[in-house]
């Protein structure tokens, strides 16, 4: 008898709608593979605490064997739902609470990446509620990138071309996080490196039709081209994969992750961040990369459930 899988999606984050696309894609795929699937939509309204209460009640009543977390942003990627699954002793797809917290916190993860010798952009932190100390960026060359410290999908991210634009960009990012990351804008090719079950996937190149790969470029049909696999010399692709795999291990991720990088013109990859729950629609980047290895979207979803379900002793609910 197939295990019962609860696919959790939605949630109280700005990425609610994106999460629904991932979750429905996973639910449909697993259903076609013969799994007993329950789709759980966490309400958009309410606080993280409200979402926890809702999720706890639904999971306890449904008694799933495995939870496939298709949540993005707050509550989904920040370790909250993962900690809840741990407390309920139910298996789940993806990284544990600690790695999830680090992946979501761009400041904490940057510090770990630097300590591990991984190449990252020059960066500093600003408090959105205080006067900006411009001494931190003296001598920096514009444009700069300003982003919230704990959001995904390029939410709240701005490309700042002049010093006069900086205050407004910090205020915009500050709507989502008090701490704001300011980093150098690196000119180069955008790449993403996925990891599946400890193995580096083929590199994907992202080619937005505009200068900056923002939320609109990510989610507007036809606004971005994706080259799968990226047209790169084998040695360069290997360097990108090595950075993605090391970043995955530094954060302590499991099952899957996707690292976003910029490839400088000299062939040096620069790590931007790691997504512990990457987008999971049939056309999302990690499924595209897995497809290069002959792993279909349905097979990928099923493989992740099987990874999470071992050992089956974790199935016992409190």
Q: Is residue 315 part of a domain?
A: no
Asked if 297 is an active-site residue, the reply is no
283 domain residue, yes or no: no
Q: Is 315 a catalytic residue?
A: no
Q: Check 27, 39, 153, 259 and give the catalytic one.
A: 153
**pLDDT reported for residue 254:** 96
Say if 284 falls within a structural domain: no
Query: For residue 170, what are the domain limits?
Result: 123-184
Classify residue 175: in a domain, yes or no.
Answer: yes
The C-alpha atoms of residue 5 and residue 63 are separated, in whole angstroms, by 9
Q: Identify whether residues 39 and 172 lie together within a single domain.
A: no
Q: Is 142 a catalytic residue?
A: no
Check 15, 78, 184, 302 and give the catalytic one.
15
pLDDT at 315: 39
Q: Answer with the one of 133, 168, 184 that is the final residue of a domain.
A: 184
Indicate which CATH number applies to the domain containing 147: 3.30.1490.20
pLDDT in tens, 93-128: 999 999 999 999 999 999 999 999 999 999 999 888
Tell me whether residue 87 is in a domain.
yes
CATH code of 32's domain:
3.40.50.20
* Cβ count within 10 A of residue 103: 29
Judge if pTM exceeds 0.85: yes
Question: Is there a single domain that holds both residue 250 and residue 194?
Answer: yes
Query: Is 258 marked active-site?
Result: yes
Between the alpha carbon of residue 239 and those of residues 65, 191, 244, 258, the distances in Å are 38, 12, 9, 15
What is the total count of domains within the chain?
3
Mean pLDDT of the chain: 90
CA distance 234 to 263: 14
What does the pLDDT read at residue 150?
A: 82
Please confirm, yes or no, whether 183 is among the known catalytic residues: no
Task: Determine the Cα–Cα distance for residues 23 and 26; give it in Å rounded to an integer.
Answer: 5
Mean pLDDT of 216-229: 71
Higher pLDDT, 167 or 240: 240
- Check whether 210 has a pLDDT greater than 50: yes
pLDDT at 132 over 70: yes
Domain co-membership, 156 together with 167: yes
Identify the pLDDT of residue 316: 37
Say whether both 243 and 215 belong to one domain.
Answer: yes
Half-sphere exposure of 248 (CA within 13 A, CB side): 28
Query: Given 150, 205, 273, 302, which residue is catalytic?
Result: 273
Examine the domain organization and report whether 253 and 206 are in the same domain. Answer: yes
Distance of CA 107 to CAs 179, 219, 298, Å? 9, 25, 35
Q: What is the pLDDT of residue 80?
A: 95
Q: Are residues 202 and 224 in the same domain?
A: yes
Among 38, 165, 219, 226, which one carries the catalytic annotation? 219
Backbone angles phi, psi at 72, to 5 degrees: -120, 150
- Give the residue-averaged pLDDT of 36-42: 97
Task: Decide if 279 is catalytic.
Answer: yes
């Amino acid at each position: 008898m197939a295990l019962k899988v609860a696919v959790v999606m939605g949630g109280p984050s700005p990425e609610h709608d994106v999460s629904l696309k991932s979750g429905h894609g996973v639910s449909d795929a697993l259903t076609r593979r013969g799994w007993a699937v329950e789709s759980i939509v966490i309400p958009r309204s309410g606080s993280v605490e409200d979402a926890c209460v809702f999720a706890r009640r639904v999971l306890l009543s449904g008694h799933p064997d495995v939870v496939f977390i298709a949540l993005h942003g707050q509550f989904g990627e920040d370790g909250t739902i993962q900690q809840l699954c741990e407390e309920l002793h139910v298996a789940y797809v993806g990284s544990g609470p600690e790695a999830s917290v680090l992946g979501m916190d761009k400041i904490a993860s940057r510090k770990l990446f630097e300590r591990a010798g991984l190449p990252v952009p020059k960066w500093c932190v600003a408090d959105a509620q205080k006067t900006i100390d411009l001494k931190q960026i003296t001598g920096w060359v514009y444009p700069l990138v300003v982003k919230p410290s704990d959001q995904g999908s390029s939410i709240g991210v701005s490309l700042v071309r002049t010093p006069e634009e900086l205050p407004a960009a910090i205020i915009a990012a500050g709507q989502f996080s008090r701490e704001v990351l300011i980093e150098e804008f690196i000119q180069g090719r955008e790449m993403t490196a996925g990891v599946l079950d400890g193995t580096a996937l083929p590199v994907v190149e992202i080619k937005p039709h505009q200068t900056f790969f923002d939320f609109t470029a990510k989610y507007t049909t036809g606004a971005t081209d994706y080259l799968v696999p990226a047209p790169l010399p084998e040695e360069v692709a290997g360097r990108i994969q090595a950075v993605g795999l090391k970043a995955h291990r530094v954060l302590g991720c499991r099952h899957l992750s996707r690292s976003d990088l910029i490839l400088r013109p000299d062939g040096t990859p620069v790590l931007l961040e790691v997504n512990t729950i990457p987008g999971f629609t049939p056309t999302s980047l990690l499924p595209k990369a897995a497809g290069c290895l002959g792993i279909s979207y349905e097979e990928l979803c099923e493989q992740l459930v099987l990874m999470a379900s071992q050992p089956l002793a974790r199935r016992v609910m409190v």
